[in-house]
């Protein structure tokens, strides 16, 4: 599914258009006076991805920002303007993690105390990092929307300002500076692929590209289970979701705002969706082939490329890796999933006569084929078994599908009935 941009000939600085313009993005870039807060992140070529999609794929490494995502760009732009005002002495924000860290870092730099409301199920690593940057963290609700509602109540005080993750022109303009760097660093780019949560990153980048490189195709990617942009574009106004879960927690915002909707509608050429399984595959491919550890949101552009939903054959395409704050428990889950999908972790159920020496024999067969047994379970209570029988359930590490098939065949040749469980 997609959206064709019909407004690329409009003046990107025209006040009658979207409320964030290219001049706003350029002004934000001029405010970035400290590279310990906002860095100019590198762009690297991925030979592996390039071969896979028959194109020239570059990776914009926004996950290498100090907080692990692009979020300090918008946060620093916003807080610099707030710090210059006499009526603001405290800021409040809501975030599942990355915006929280961006605001906390920018607040420390600008001298504004910050309170960040995060969902109770936010990854502990992101909670700890936010506190580490000096912000007060309040855990409230089970999703981003509930955290926002509580944060707004905290912001309803004198001299306190709420800093929204994406429904803020200065946040969006700061995020758009990613595109300014790409214009300089990859002048040959033809397609840019960006993850979409609330739309603050792709909206700002779209405003910048509309002025500097209107010929570049801009494509957004959402997690299928929490996608709201395709429906919003079809209906002509922002749509929201009450429920939805994804491994890409950074883009599970539940919807976009009127501000980001109009920017997406004006500047984004197409929006595609990817499944959690495709996101998991994207994360592992980036880790294995590009040696880059990213979170689900950051892997969304690569997942879209690997799924074939975006055709970049014979093109120079840039995938924006927006964040790298992947919780280690999630990494363990993803590794288990991917190794199972590749048949590098297999579970074998072998029917045996329950007598001495059988486990030793089967272990020897597996060992002779160069595989490693990670776990074994001896099951006697199963109504599929006859008297005197048992199941031996092996969890085995293999080198892949061929190796797994060879192990099963060898056990069968020794007279055992064996089933591949997973």
My answer on whether 289 and 360 are in the same domain is no
My answer on whether 111 and 249 are in the same domain is no
Residues of the chain with pLDDT under 50: 1-15
Q: What pLDDT is recorded for position 17?
A: 60
Q: Is residue 9 assigned to a domain?
A: no
Q: Is residue 6 assigned to a domain?
A: no
Residue 199 backbone zone (phi > 0: left; psi -120 to 50: alpha; other: beta): left
Q: What pLDDT is recorded for position 250?
A: 84
Q: What pLDDT is recorded for position 57?
A: 98
Q: Is residue 77 assigned to a domain?
A: yes
My answer on whether 119 and 160 are in the same domain is yes
- Picking from 337, 353, 369, the residue at the C-terminal end of a domain is 337
My answer on whether 216 and 275 are in the same domain is yes
My answer on whether 187 and 316 are in the same domain is yes
Closest CA to 204 of 141, 281, 257: 257
- Picking from 337, 356, 378, the residue at the C-terminal end of a domain is 337
Q: Is residue 15 assigned to a domain?
A: no
My answer on whether 299 and 220 are in the same domain is yes
- What is the C-alpha to C-alpha distance for residues 313 and 215, in angstroms, rounded to an integer? 17
Q: What pLDDT is recorded for position 211?
A: 97
My answer on whether 177 and 301 are in the same domain is yes
My answer on whether 224 and 353 are in the same domain is no
Q: What pLDDT is recorded for position 279?
A: 96
Q: What is the per-residue DSSP string for 184-222?
A: HH-TT--EEEEE-SSSHHHHHHHHHHHHH-TTSEEEEEE
Q: What pLDDT is recorded for position 123?
A: 78
**Quick one: tokens of 236?**
């002509």
Q: Is residue 41 assigned to a domain?
A: yes
Residue with tokens 């055992």: 416
My answer on whether 76 and 32 are in the same domain is no
Q: Is residue 3 assigned to a domain?
A: no
My answer on whether 191 and 59 are in the same domain is yes
Q: What pLDDT is recorded for position 214?
A: 97
- Picking from 111, 133, 164, the residue at the C-terminal end of a domain is 164
How many domains does one find in the chain?
3
Range of the domain at 398: 342-420
For helices 328-341 and 276-285, what crossing angle results, to 10°? 100
Q: What pLDDT is recorded for position 406?
A: 97
Residue-wise pLDDT for 231-240, tens only, equals: 999 999 999 9
Q: Is residue 372 assigned to a domain?
A: yes
pTM of the model: 0.88
Q: What is the 3-state secondary structure (H, E, C) of 49-85?
A: HHHHHCCEEEEECHHHCCCCECCHHHHHHHHHHHHCC
| Residues in contact with 308: Cβ distance below 8 Å, sequence separation at least 6, in sequence order | none
My answer on whether 178 and 303 are in the same domain is yes
């Amino acid at each position: 599914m997609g959206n064709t941009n019909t407004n690329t000939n409009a003046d990107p600085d025209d006040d009658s258009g979207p409320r964030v313009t290219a001049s706003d993005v350029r002004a934000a870039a001029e405010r970035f006076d400290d590279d310990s807060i906002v860095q100019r992140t590198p762009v690297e070529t991925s030979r592996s991805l390039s071969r896979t999609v028959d194109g020239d794929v570059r990776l914009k490494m926004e996950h290498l920002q100090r907080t692990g995502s692009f979020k300090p760009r918008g946060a620093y732009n916003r807080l610099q303007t707030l710090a210059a005002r006499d009526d603001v002495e405290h800021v409040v924000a809501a975030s599942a993690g990355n915006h929280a860290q961006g605001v906390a870092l920018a607040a420390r730099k600008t001298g504004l105390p910050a309170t960040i409301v995060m969902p109770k199920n936010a990854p502990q690593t992101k909670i700890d990092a936010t506190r580490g940057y000096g912000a007060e963290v309040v855990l409230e609700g089970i999703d981003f929307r509930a955290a926002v509602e509580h944060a707004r109540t905290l912001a309803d005080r004198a001299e306190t300002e709420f800093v929204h993750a994406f429904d803020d022109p200065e946040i969006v303009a700061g995020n758009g500076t990613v595109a300014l760097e790409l214009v300089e660093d990859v002048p040959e780019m033809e397609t840019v692929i960006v993850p979409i949560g609330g739309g603050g990153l792709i909206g700002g980048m779209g405003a910048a590209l509309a002025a500097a490189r209107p010929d570049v195709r801009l494509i957004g990617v959402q997690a299928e289970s929490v996608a709201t942009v395709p429906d919003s574009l079809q209906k002509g106004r922002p749509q929201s979701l009450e429920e939805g879960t994804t491994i890409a927690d950074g883009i599970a915002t539940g919807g976009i705002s009127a501000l980001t909707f109009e920017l997406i509608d004006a500047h984004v050429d197409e929006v595609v969706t990817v499944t959690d399984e495709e996101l998991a595959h994207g994360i592992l491919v980036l880790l294995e082939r590009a040696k880059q550890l990213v979170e689900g949101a950051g892997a969304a552009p690569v997942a879209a490329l690997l799924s074939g939903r975006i055709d970049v054959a014979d093109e120079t395409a840039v995938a924006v890796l927006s964040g790298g704050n992947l919780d280690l428990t999630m990494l363990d889950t993803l590794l288990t999933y991917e190794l199972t999908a590749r048949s590098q972790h297999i579970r074998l159920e072998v029917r045996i006569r329950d007598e001495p020496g059988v486990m030793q024999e089967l272990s020897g067969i597996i060992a002779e084929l160069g595989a490693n047994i990670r776990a074994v379970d001896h099951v006697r209570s199963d109504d599929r078994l006859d008297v005197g029988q048992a199941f031996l359930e092996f969890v085995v590490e293999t080198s892949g599908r061929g190796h797994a098939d060879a192990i099963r065949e060898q056990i069968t040749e020794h007279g055992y009935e064996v089933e591949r469980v997973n």
